[in-house]
Amino acid sequence: MANFFQDNPEIKFHLSHPLLKRIVELKERNYSDFGKYDYAPENFEDALDSYERVLDLAGDVTANIIAPNAEAVDAEGPHVENNRMVYASKTYENLDATIKAGLNGVTMPRRYGGLNFPMAIYSAINEMIACADTGFENIWSLQDCIETLYEFGDEDQRKRYVPRVCNGETMSMDLTEPDAGSDLQSVMLKATFDEENNCWRLNGCKRFITNGDSDIHLVLARSEDGTRDGRGLSMFIYDKRDGGVDVRRIENKLGIHGSPTCELVYKNAKAELCGSRKLGLIKYVMGLMNGARLGIAGQSTGTSQMAYNEALAYAKDRKQFGKAIIEFPAVYDMLATMKAKLDASRTLYYTTSRYVDMYKTLEDIERERKENGERLTAEEKAECKTFSRLADAFTPMAKGMTSEYANQIAYDGIQVHGGSGFMLEYACQRLYRDARILTIYEGTTQLQTVAAGRYITNGFYGQVIAEMLEAGQAPASVGSADWCAEEFLPLKERVAKMAEKYNAAVAYTNNQKNDEFKDLVIRHLYEMAGDCIMAILLIADASKAPELFGKSARVYARHAASEVEKHYDFVMSATAEDLADYRR
């Protein structure tokens, strides 16, 4: 029987990363839940064994329940009935399966009913769900909004809401409005305090809200009268049980048909403040978005995996000129490059997940200690800062690069299918349509380059790449000097040369001292940094598991080197005078 975990040893490989041990120790507070909860681990080995078993379960549910439903969900889609959203019928089956399998509240502490798994393990479930059905991943993964409520809500709110999410209630983040998409500072949904009933009231409209008829909403609204920017926005919790929000319509989309994109009307809807006033956008939505962006990296990786699977199976099966088309260099070149980009996406995705795990868990420990009048040690504080910065730099890199790769892989997936790929009978066309949104929502690739921009110009990525070349990992303390197996040393040398070109292109850009010029070439620099980072990560993976990643490391290094060369040439030959050619 198919199993997306057992069938993809590349996923399991990422459980062997040395940083995971430290993450689990922190997450489990030295295994202090053992004995208190019958499902809490005794030690790292026990935890790892539990993760593998639960991932095996997720691999079964995704392969045998969610994936077989994907075509029907795509064909049916959700609809609106009496101002309520109704999912495609098979989506209910998917939800029922994930709830019964207990795959909710995955990262939440046990005291609220969660599994207390690290983000790195949640990430593995996430990519398998996306592999099964890109659209359903949205509905399932919106559970990670609870991270924001858990971090910034008060204890009473945690006690009321976190257990509900752990039991399978769904969430949404209501941010976008007709005139506030990428520019969330323009949000106008009005929040007013109702003195009589001692609660907040929401009035207005939200648009493009994924899973907008969820049970628990996090809503960005303008609480400060007379303000027009981000400082007047606060975050609210709206509980569907209280009523007051109608679904006006559902968007008719190119892809991810199973994921309902709703237009919502708030009619004096009762809501409660989450965290402090005025920090809605500045602090909480940024946290929410970073989580969502990592989620999209997983969604992209899963979608890429399925697009590759479909293309590979077709290429083995389809015969032309007396042999399977996979035997033709023009076809196996495409497949090898698809797989290399897939493996590169995955290694970047898990690396970022681990960074998020490290700093978020340390921050959580810090919150707990503060309640007892204690603090993080200086070492822990430094550790938290290191990983927080890495997570902040790697999240926009992971989101942008993996989603662009997912599109390239889905595109080539259709190409491998030839004329059949253009017909609606084959899954590759659905994957191609589904992939298209990945580079757009939760911040377009162009916005990811903005978020990553400061780490390019201030030299942080350059430092990270240097550290990774030295130790195979960043920070260097996580890796070791002998990280690169002898057979891959020539690849490492090649990446070192790529890094030199990247650094030269960054220096050249900074020397122009022209922000508009920088913004024009930033995408090129962003991709160069991504090429270098993913190449090193893949070489490190291949050094440990050459049978799994050796081919991909070599194919990717060649691909990345040519990409770096291309971008280098573009940047180094561009000048501020060229801007005029681009302006419209």
Partner 1 sequence: MSLKIVVLAKQVPDTRNVGPDAMTAEGTVNRAALPAVFNPDDLNALEQALILKDKFPGSTITVITMGLPKASAIIREALFRGADKGYVITDRPLGGADTLATSYTLAQAIKKIGEVDIILGGRQAIDGDTAQVGPQIAEKLGLTQVTYAEEILSLDEATKKIVIKRHIDGGVETVEAQFPLVITVNGSAAPCRPANAKRIMAYKRAAIPEWNAQDIECDPKQIGKAGSPTNVKAVKNIVFKAKESRTLTGSDEDINGLIVELLDEKIIG
Helix axes 286-317, 427-435, angle to 10 degrees: 160
The count of residues in the chain is 584
Q: Which helix H or strand E contains 194, and what residues bound it?
A: strand 190-194
CB of 69 to partner 1, least distance (A): 13
- Binding-site ranges for partner 1 (CB under 8 A): 1, 38-41, 49-50, 53-54, 57, 60-61, 65, 96-97, 100-103, 115
C-beta of 1 vs 378, nearer to partner 1: 1
CB of 4 to partner 1, least distance (A): 13
Q: How far apart are CA 205 and CA 224, in angstroms?
A: 17
Sign of torsion over alpha carbons 421, 422, 426, 427: positive
Is the separation of the CB atoms in 394 and 355 below 8 Å? yes
| Alpha-helix residue ranges (DSSP H) falling in 241-285 | none
CB of 145 to partner 1, least distance (A): 20
Q: For residue 188, what are its two tokens?
A: 């106008």
CB of 118 to partner 1, least distance (A): 14
C-beta of 132 vs 561, nearer to partner 1: 132
Residue in 323, 475, 449 with CA at minimum distance from that of residue 395 = 449
Looking at residue 575, the DSSP 8-state letter turns out to be -
C-beta of 52 vs 364, nearer to partner 1: 52
C-beta of 60 vs 151, nearer to partner 1: 60
| Torsion, Cα of 147, 149, 150, 151 (10° steps) | 80
CB of 295 to partner 1, least distance (A): 19
CB of 88 to partner 1, least distance (A): 19
Q: How far apart are CA 326 and CA 501, in angstroms?
A: 35
- Residue 3, SS3 per DSSP: coil
- At residue 536, what are phi and psi to the nearest 5 degrees? -65, -45
C-beta of 61 vs 73, nearer to partner 1: 61
CB of 12 to partner 1, least distance (A): 17
Helix, strand, coil share of the chain (percent; to 5)? 65, 10, 25
Looking at residue 422, the DSSP 8-state letter turns out to be G
Rg (CA), the chain: 24
Angle, vertex CA 515, rays to CA 294 and CA 582, nearest 5 = 90
Q: How far apart are CA 558 and CA 553, in angstroms?
A: 9
Is the separation of the CB atoms in 119 and 146 below 8 Å? no
CB of 33 to partner 1, least distance (A): 11
Q: How far apart are CA 436 and CA 488, in angstroms?
A: 34
Amino acid present at 438:
L
Q: For residue 425, what are its two tokens?
A: 């009978």
Residue in 234, 229, 176 with CA at minimum distance from that of residue 201 = 234
C-beta of 96 vs 179, nearer to partner 1: 96
Looking at residue 24, the DSSP 8-state letter turns out to be H
| Torsion, Cα of 328, 330, 336, 339 (10° steps) | -110
Is the separation of the CB atoms in 449 and 529 below 8 Å? no
CB of 582 to partner 1, least distance (A): 52
CB of 38 to partner 1, least distance (A): 4
Looking at residue 583, the DSSP 8-state letter turns out to be -
C-beta of 101 vs 545, nearer to partner 1: 101
For the beta carbon of residue 268, count every other beta carbon within 10 angstroms.
12
C-beta of 115 vs 536, nearer to partner 1: 115
C-beta of 165 vs 391, nearer to partner 1: 165
* Strand pairing category for 233-239 and 216-222: antiparallel
C-beta of 117 vs 238, nearer to partner 1: 117
CB of 78 to partner 1, least distance (A): 24
CB of 114 to partner 1, least distance (A): 10
C-beta of 162 vs 362, nearer to partner 1: 162
Contacts of 357 (CB under 8 A, 6+ apart): 23, 27, 118, 119, 120
C-beta of 106 vs 435, nearer to partner 1: 106
C-beta of 57 vs 545, nearer to partner 1: 57
**CA distances in angstroms from 313 to 171, 190, 427, listed in the order given:** 36, 52, 12
C-beta of 40 vs 348, nearer to partner 1: 40
Q: How far apart are CA 11 and CA 230, in angstroms?
A: 39
CB of 6 to partner 1, least distance (A): 13
Q: How far apart are CA 87 and CA 81, in angstroms?
A: 10
C-beta of 97 vs 476, nearer to partner 1: 97
